[in-house]
Each structure stands twice: as C-alpha cells, then as structure tokens.
Amino acid sequence: LAEATLAGGCCPGASRNRFAYNEAGQVRIRAGLPIYECNSRCRCGAECPNRVVQRGIRYDLCIFRTGDGRGWGVRTLQRIRKNSFVMEYVGEIITSEEAERRGQVYDRQGATYLFDLDYVEDVYTVDAAHYGNISHFVNHSCDPNLQVYNVFIENLDQRLPRIALFATRPIRAGEERTFDYNMHVDPVDAESTRMDSNFGLVGGSLGGSPRARGRIECKCGAASCRKFLF
C-alpha cells in the first residue's frame, strides 16, 4: 500500500492527497483536508486500512433524553479512542434552494437538521429531518468531542462529500457525543484552500444566505460557550 501511494496508484496518491489513516484506522490528517478512501474499483479487500468510514459505525451508541432542555442526545456505551471514526452524518441530499425553503419551516419549529455540503461550493445540503441515522440526535457543543471531515469513496464529485465525524479526544463510556454546528476550519496548506471555512449543521443556509436568521440560544454549558448557536 505504501509503495502504491508513493507511485500515485492508491486512492489518496492518485488524487494527490495524503493517506488519512494510521494502521489502527485513526485519522492522522488535520481537519480541512479531504479523505479519499478505496472503493469498489480497487483491488484491495475489506480489511484495507484505507477503508474506515465505509465500514460504518463500530461503537455501541445509544439515544437518551437530556435533562437540561436540549432534547434527545447520543452517548457512547464504550470508550472511544482519539481520532477514531464514530459515525457518518446521513440524510436526504437536496439542493441548496430546497434547503432554503425547508430551513424556513425548520426555523419555525426550532429544528436544525440541514448540513451544507460546501467543500468546494454550496450546491447541495444533507437533510436529516426525515431520513438518516443516529447522527440525527447528536447535539451541538461549543467544546465538542467530534470533528467533521469530508470523505470521498465511490464518488469523486467534490460537491458531494460524505460527512464523517471523528473523535477529537478519548471519550469515556457514558459520555455524550457532540460537535460544533458552526465550526470553522482554517486552511492548513495548499490542499485545503478549497475548503469553505464556514460549514456546519444549520436550520437553513449558513454563510452567504440572503435570509437573515434569528439567533438561537446555545445550551451546551461549556466553559467556552458562545451563548448562541448561530
């Protein structure tokens, strides 16, 4: 695999990007850089170290009712190592125009299920309101323990990355999973300058939206809390 990468034959090498994982499947590149995993056209098997997100959730997670007004949340039933893949944000892929329309409805409901896919341009959005997985219930935090990465597997259209959540630190069994709905990723080198630094989970469009949105109070309780989600 290392020789293939150096020769440009493996997926990361062929796309001129860094190999994203170590031998334990932990992400080793900085947030903002894309991840290119092997796909159905590759000769490697299911145990290839460059197949992580596509294997799905590997930890025992559960949904629980929070006691501080944040609704439902997700916590882990087992310890999660730092930089490990935890879950993918899954939903219905819609256009940004449709997301704007639905966002106005969700705003009135106080819901936030729209995730802009703006790795290179803001064309599509993932809506997890009606279709998705356990990521639908993950709460926001200004001091999160999950980080978003853009992943490409069977698809190389940079407008349609898959959204993977990796642990930013070791996570204890019983601890709630969270990520920052309004996170900012600064370009770390020339490879990531195409990254829109304003990506996150939103009830409408975020950044460049023609519609002014009301401020949503944050209830994460972190010492670094910004007081508002948006």
179: helix, coil or strand?
strand
Q: Annotated binding site for Zn(2+), which residues?
A: 10-11, 38, 42, 44, 48, 142, 218, 220, 225
Q: Which long-range contacts (CB under 8 A, 24 or more apart) does 152-158 make?
A: 152/15, 152/34, 152/35, 152/36, 152/37, 153/37, 153/38, 153/39, 153/53, 153/54, 154/39, 154/40, 156/15, 158/34, 158/119, 158/120, 158/194
Q: Checking DSSP bridges between strand 114-117 and strand 201-202, what pairing results, if any?
A: antiparallel
Structure tokens at 198: 């304003």
| 168 secondary structure, DSSP code | S
Q: Annotated binding site, which residues?
A: 10-11, 38, 42, 44, 48, 70-72, 139-140, 142, 181, 218-220, 225
Compute the distance between CA of residue 144 and CA of residue 153 in angstroms, rounded to an integer: 26
Q: Annotated binding site for S-adenosyl-L-methionine, which residues?
A: 70-72, 139-140, 181, 219
